[in-house]
Amino acid sequence: MTFDYDLFVIGAGPGGLAAAKKAASYGARVAIAEQEAIGGTCVNRGCVPKKLIVHAADVALQNQMAYSYGWSDYQTTFDWTKFIRSVHKHIESINRSSSKQLQNAGIELIRSQATFTNTHTLEVHGRKVTADKILIAVGAKPILPEISGIEFAITSREMFHLPYLPKRLAIVGGGYIGVEFSSMMNAFGCEVTIIDQDEMILSGFDDDIRRGVQEGLTKRKIRFIGNRTAQEIKYSEENLLLTMSGDSQNIITADTILMATGRAPNTKNLGLEKAGVELGEKGAIKVDEYSRTTQENIFAVGDCTNRLPLTPVARSEAAAFANTVFGKKQQKVNYDYVPSAVFARPEAASVGMTEAKAREKFGESVKCYRDRFQPLFSQMTKEGDQATIKLVVEGESERILGVHMVGEHAADIIQSLTVAIRKGITKQDLDETIGIHPTTAEEFYLFGSQ
């Protein structure tokens, strides 16, 4: 059978774009369909705009610390509307660049939704197209709890389109999205409250990391209410009233309520049942180690699958797929030691096993090394932020199983250590390494001298 394309990609996010370009580099005839902006969640309503807001918030925090460093009469004003307009202009430039890259690679971009009619056929923009291989890379979307008044709340998607800064922001959900927004908006002067169903924020991270970030946020006057779930939202006299259930009932008054209660695969309305593609838990597409679905010619990568929902992971899965299918070089993604970060202030990052996971697997042979210290930068300020570093090691060799950090530059430091951890280094290897002084990163090399 002759097909219109060798590969048809549904979704032009990080995974879809990476797969399309890599497949095209092998000579494949490729088309990609995207009904929204190119770049997906990460570029348009996630990683990129969020990190730009983090940078803007850092300027606000540095302004607060300027007096400690000898600056006087150092006053500035922040214009949220002007800033957010600049953010969207930058995103538009990324979109144009991505579109140009597709054009240069000979990839057809179709601005439309694509739905399956069978295993090799899709309906796109009112016409039917066929493809030998089809890749699904449609990402995920925010989950909203089914409570009364949920229409008054917003998700992370709408946070990037707020017309003004709220004076009082309530955030439901203490995962990395809720925590990051709490930190950013607090730096801009918002009164922020986080409501979470757990006692501590950042479920899934190492407990020392969770505790360190929560203490840092509390120090910045961010209010935290644990063991609560959102029950109802009401609009009253230009205020939003959020009722919570839990150990006792509470009501919080806010101008804006952000629901950061998780994300789910964006797999509805694709016609997957017509193609025989099976879904698993929470609507995630079932895939094997080569990203193949239950249909041998249909593949899926990124957040729409049941694997790690991280942009770099989606890109790696996409490259492995294209190399395997079109490059004839079988390649799988290694999910061990994938680093992650929380871009709050204080910042946190981790790679490898938490202490709890390590003890669950290796038992009593697990040891942990911890240190809390005050980085040089904060020693000059009233805030006096504490940094936390932690090694999780196993056995007599003290092979490093996990590295965790709260503090300035945590993401860059952990990322730099990741390749060494993947290669199986031990604590002794770190002890014998000479760092750069004075830096925060050198503390990882000083456990042996303490």
Q: Which residues are catalytic?
A: 437
Report the half-sphere exposure of 283 (CA within 13 A, side-chain side): 17
Q: Determine how β-strand 121-124 pairs with β-strand 228-236.
A: unpaired
Torsion angle in degrees (nearest 10) through CA of 346, 351, 357, 362: -130
Which residue type is seen at 246?
G
> Interhelix angle for 47-65 vs 80-104, to 10°?
140
Sign, CA torsion 256/261/262/264: negative
What percent of the residues of the chain are helix, what percent strand, and what percent coil, each to the nearest 5? 35, 25, 40
Strands 348-352 and 340-342 come out as antiparallel
Residues 6+ positions from 419 with CB-CB distance below 8 Å:
none
CB-based contacts of 374, cutoff 8 Å, min separation 6: 384, 385, 386, 387
- Is residue 359 a contact partner of residue 366, using CB atoms and an 8 Å limit? yes
Tell me if 317 sits within 8 A of 181, measured CB to CB. no
The rounded distance, in Å, linking the Cα atoms of 416 and 436 is 14
Q: Where are the alpha helices (DSSP H) in 196-287?
A: 207-219, 272-275
57 has which bridge partners?
none
DSSP state of 232: E
Check the CA dihedral 359-362-366-370 and report its sign. negative
Which structure tokens are listed for 17? 């774009």
